[in-house]
Structure formats: structure tokens, C-alpha cells
Amino acid sequence: MRINNQQILRFILSGLIASIINFISYRSLYLLFNNILFASISGYCIGILISFIFGKLWVFKNSNGQPLVKSFSLFCLIYFLGGIEMSLVILFINQLIDNYKIAWLFGALIGSINNYLGSKYLSFKK
């Protein structure tokens, strides 16, 4: 397993950009509709779409001919599982040390590793 530092850096940068767009969408939709659930789900979906586009075109430069629907479905499944994994790690670490901030950092790290590896070897495999 060869580690590509440029690819990892692009993954982190695209994740930050997608998160910023997620937040801007969330905030804008909340201000427009005053519905936090709608704004949260919509913002998250927009962020996932942005992450997928960055992943396909810039991070992993995927042109393997895998059908777009299959690639996107795998991507969504990976991120869904990563979210569950992150939540479980947060709960577990917080039980051990009773510090939700540090627990979140560990959860985010584990979830990000899951998302990177899943994207690289499943969604955008060459």
C-alpha cells in the first residue's frame, strides 16, 4: 500500500472545502426556511455531492469507466458507515476520558481514515 502524500493533502483540502460549502448551505437554508432539520440534511447532502465531485475529478482523478451511479452509491455508503464509525468512536472515547472535544477529534480522525481508504479502494479504484 503506497501512500501518496499529494493525494492525502488533496483529500484533506477537498474535505475542508466541502465542509465550508456544507456549512454555508446549512446556514443559508436555515435562514430562508427556519427549519433546522431540512437545513442540516440539505447542507450535508450538498457537502457529500461536493466531496464526490472533488474526489472523482481532483483527489483520485478517477477515469476507470466505473458507472457513475455505482461509484456514487459506494461513496455514499462509505461516508454513511464512516459517520456511524465516527459516532461510535466519539461515544467510546468520551466514556473513557469524559472530554467531548478530544473524543470528537479521535472520531473525526478514524472517520476520515475510513472515508479516504474507502474512496481510494472502492469508489474511485483504478
Three-class DSSP category at 1: coil
Domain locations in the chain?
1-62, 65-125
Sorted by sequence, the CB contacts under 8 Å of residue 39 that are 6+ apart come out as 25, 26, 27, 29, 30, 33
Cell readout for 72 is: 456514487
Q: What is the mean pLDDT of residues 1-16?
A: 87
Q: CA–CA distance from 68 to each of 13, 65, 82 (Å)? A: 23, 8, 21
Per-residue pLDDT reduced to its tens digit, 49-91 = 999 999 999 999 876 678 899 999 999 999 999 999 999 999 9
